[in-house]
Amino acid sequence: MSVMDFGDLIGRSAPFNTARDEVNLPMIRRWCDVMGERNPVYTDPAYAEKSVFGGIIAPIAMLDVWDKPGIIFERDESNPQGAALSVLDGAGFTSTVAVNSDLEQSRPLRPGEWVHSTLTLEDISPEKHTGLGTGHFVTSRIRYYSGDEVVGSVLFRVLKFKPGTGKAPSGGPAPEPVIPTGPTEMALRETTRTVGEVSPEEPLPDLAIPLTATLIIGGALMTLDYFDGHHDRDMAVQRGSKDIFMNIHTALGLVQRYVSDWAGPEAVWRNLKARLGASNYPGDTMVLSGNVVTADPTTGVTTVAYRGLNSLGAHVTGTAELVLPV
């Protein structure tokens, strides 16, 4: 199958999802509980009202959560992504794994807003041979609206691959799980760093996150992701995984928590970009580290590069862009 087979789908846009509930504090609170996110601008109305935001806001990592249908999801072949995925399934590329998720927001969402989205199918790669298997990368751009206003977008890429076509195990000893040796929680900042307090190449402290089944399952459910590989071990193994594995939305939430704990409660998020690698499995540990890349003393715009390592290698790498007080 070549990319030319999808010529009538690539570049097409269509309505995608419409939220069943408005942005709301209970859902934000439960998401924060799972991620370990303690920023009071997300959950404390009195604190948030006195902040630069003037009230409760939703985390940027929840941007693509609000309109998800959840457990009642059914693939819609009237949109170009759904149609393309069905064609790939029919050709034997039946396994799916997220590869990239680049979130950008023009402003944070607030309780009471209703979110809906449109999707543009941007690209389907020629057949590729990857460690997971032979498949195609499918790239979509999803734009999120509150009313008629675009509030953000996500570039989302998945690999659709044929099960059993990946690299065979090396036959060597299985890697030992990473054992946490550093802090598993950062000190909670009560003030926000100013841009004058940071400098390029400044390291962020490491943070060790134990990977429990509760975290992996809770993260999937709190991001309305009911793909069985994230919560059903039997189905995960049947799909070629050794166990349930963390979804990309939970990885983004943990990264947001990490950078937010370093930056402080009133940092203004612009974007959060992630590329996934080695899976996060229960019983391991992900160690997050990072460093400042740029810090504009005039605008406060600050970019942080980060990575999360487990015993198998890099689970997630990417950048975050925030605006710090000048």
Of 123, 139, 168, which marks where a domain is finished?
A: 168
Are both 73 and 202 inside the same structural domain? Answer: no
The overall average pLDDT reported for the chain is: 94
Residue 52 placed within a domain: no
Q: Determine what percent of the chain is predicted with pLDDT higher than 70.
A: 96
Could you tell me the pTM of the whole model?
Answer: 0.93
Kindly give the interhelix angle for 213-222 and 25-35, rounded to the nearest 10 degrees.
Answer: 160
The mean pLDDT of 202-223, rounded to a whole number, is 97
Kindly give the interhelix angle for 25-35 and 248-263, rounded to the nearest 10 degrees.
Answer: 90
Residue 32 placed within a domain: no
Residue 36 placed within a domain: no
Are both 103 and 201 inside the same structural domain? Answer: no
The two three-digit tokens of residue 268, written as one number: 């203004």
Of 134, 168, 202, which marks where a domain is finished?
A: 168
Are both 4 and 116 inside the same structural domain? Answer: yes
pLDDT in the model for residue 3: 41
Are both 231 and 274 inside the same structural domain? Answer: yes
Phi then psi for 76, rounded to 5 degrees? -105, 105
Burial of 36 (0-12, 13-18, 19+ CB in 10 A): middle
Are both 114 and 229 inside the same structural domain? Answer: no
Residue 47 placed within a domain: no
> pLDDT grade, residue 1 (50/70/90)?
very low
102 touches 271 (CB < 8 A): yes
Are both 83 and 140 inside the same structural domain? Answer: yes
Angle (CA) 59-64-68 rounded to 5° is 125
CB burial readout 260-279, b (16+ within 10 A) else e: bbbbbbbbbbbbbbbbbbbb
Are both 312 and 198 inside the same structural domain? Answer: yes
Are both 12 and 127 inside the same structural domain? Answer: yes
Of 168, 201, 234, which marks where a domain is finished?
A: 168
CATH number at residue 253: 3.10.129.10
Tens-digit pLDDT profile for residues 119-168: 999 999 999 999 889 999 999 999 999 999 999 999 999 999 998 888 76
Tens-digit pLDDT profile for residues 243-258: 999 999 999 999 999 9
- 289 pLDDT higher than 50: yes
Are both 19 and 146 inside the same structural domain? Answer: yes
Rounded distance between C-alpha atoms, residue 178 and residue 277, angstroms:
16
- 104 pLDDT higher than 50: yes
Whole domain around residue 7: which residue ranges? 1-23+58-168
Residue 43 placed within a domain: no
Are both 135 and 226 inside the same structural domain? Answer: no
Are both 1 and 106 inside the same structural domain? Answer: yes
